Amino acid sequence: MIHRGYQAAYSGIWPSTGNAASVVGDVPGFLSTALVAVPLMLWDSPYAPIILLLAMRLAGFLMIDVVIRQALPDNMVPRLLLVLLLWLNPWIQYDSLLYNPAYLIFCAGLHLYTAWRLRDKPDFWSTFGHVLSIGFAMQLHFSWPLLVFISLYLWWRQIVRVNWWAVSAAVLVVIASLLPYLSELLANPHIARNEDPDTHERYIGWGAVHVYPVLKSLIYWLRYGAWAFPSKLVNDAGFDWLAAWGWLEYGLVWLWRIVQYLLAALTIVMALIANMAAWFDIRQHWRRRDGAVTDAVTWLLLYSFGAFWAMLVSAGLAPIVFNYWHLILIFPAAIMPVLIWVYWAFFKGSAVSLKPLWWVAAFFVVTNLVAISDSRKFSWQASYADQVRQYVDKEIGSARP
């Protein structure tokens, strides 16, 4: 993204294709280029596209916050839980860097928010935004079918009211945005496939045939709702800044891993219980097609259920084994059963203590601090701005014409 964005901002060259995917070729490139190039045109600094990225991620979170505030209006606890389970969650913060999946939380937030607004009436702009959330994701990552399958379930279940004029208008906008990519695809069909010969053995439905990809996605669903964070975050923390005290460095590495894995095991059990509770709540509702939903919480759990099946269907159809960033579009849906269960089980009422939430917040902050200073993706010894400037000077040129 950095290369294409700086090339567009400095040289006026706007590529029609983006990053190469694992198996199925290149994603469209215009939007991902614009997300870097446009901020650079306004402020020529490596931090310009980062500010836009953080603003979009914040916007995605705030849209989900609106849904939680309206669905569980009794007190502030559900919103505090959302801050912990989503905004401060190391699963999300570990992806706060300039690459395509980092923008997907915005698409997820827009998708949930617009679906929520379509519960009662077929609003034009909500439908338009709902389709655009899918189109936006389509330009960034090949995991966009997840949102399509969720929308299809909500429509089949008749718990969203669709404005078909808005659908038509939004589809036309999405197609127009894809015209440069489609033109390039017609001229160079090879961009639709990875050139690695091993990938040519993959096919639609490969995941279902091999089973493991579907099981792995199921594990990710539970891990998203738990504190079972990416292995790169946990295992690669070496505490190098303590190298002068080898015994302390070695001891802290193992203390870090033991605490992380114990809490991961405990919270995965809690996530499983939360999802079972959610299933018992909606088991009489998930197949009904009369549009009847007893309350807002049930609607949220049905949305989460739709995301769960979208994940399994996508994992079965996909020609790859999913990694955690492939499923980030369903992250908000995956934490919903946990958020609702924790709220109802431990914080429902007026005389509850919020001290446990402070302990959770402290744990997340410490985990994030370790991740940003000493993990495979981040290091306290590296400077993002210097790295970008050196790369741009070498590959593109240091000054805009």
pLDDT at 363: 94
Q: Can you give the pLDDT at residue 374?
A: 76
User: Which pLDDT belongs to residue 200?
Assistant: 65
Which tokens hold the place of 160?
């969203």
What residue has token string 């701005």? Answer: 385
Nearest CA to 114 out of 73, 163, 177 is that of 163
- How many Cβ atoms are within 10 Å of 93's Cβ, its own excluded? 18
The pLDDT of residue 22 is 67
Domain coordinates of the chain in residue numbers?
2-395
Nearest to 322, CA basis, from 17, 25, 22 = 22
Query: Within a 10 A sphere around the Cβ of 125, how many other Cβ atoms?
Result: 11
Phi, psi (degrees; rounded to nearest 5) at 379: -150, 140
pLDDT, averaged in runs of 10, over the chain (401 residues) = 88 81 77 92 93 96 96 89 94 88 96 96 96 95 94 94 96 92 82 66 85 94 94 82 78 92 96 96 84 85 96 93 92 97 86 87 93 77 85 74 49
Write the single-letter amino acid at 251: G
Contacts 24+ apart (CB under 8 A), 254-263: 256/370, 260/227, 260/229, 260/234, 260/367, 261/234, 263/227, 263/363
- Alpha-carbon distance of 110 to 132, in angstroms, equals 9
47/36 Cα distance (integer angstroms): 10
pTM: 0.93
Say if CB 163 and CB 127 are below 8 A apart: yes
User: Strand pairing of 17-20 and 26-28?
Assistant: antiparallel
Backbone angles phi, psi at 27, to 5 degrees: -80, 160
**What was the pLDDT predicted at 400?**
54
Q: Round to the nearest angstrom and report the end-to-end CA distance of the chain.
A: 20
CA distance readout (Å), 183 to 14, 36, 171, 188, 366: 14, 22, 17, 9, 48
Pair 249, 374: CB distance under 8 Å: no
Cα 168–Cα 172–Cα 177 angle in degrees, nearest 5: 150
Give the Cβ contact number of residue 210 at 10 Å.
13
Q: How far apart are CA 382 and CA 252, in angstroms?
A: 22
* Residue 89: per-residue pLDDT: 94
Radius of gyration from C-alpha coordinates of the chain: 22
Nearest Cα neighbor of 328 from 212, 220, 249, 244 is 220
Task: Write phi, then psi, for 395 (nearest 5 degrees).
Answer: -95, -30
Torsion angle of the four alpha carbons 119, 108, 326, 328, in this order, in degrees rounded to the nearest 10: -110
Distance (Å, whole) CA 318 – CA 310: 12
What is the residue whose two structure tokens read 């504190």?
227
What is the predicted pLDDT for the residue at 246? 76
**Residue 249 region, left (φ>0) first, then alpha (ψ -120 to 50), else beta?**
alpha
Q: Give yes or no for a contact between 194 and 24, defined as CB atoms under 8 angstroms apart.
A: yes
276: Cβ–Cβ under 8 A, 6 or more apart, which residues?
none
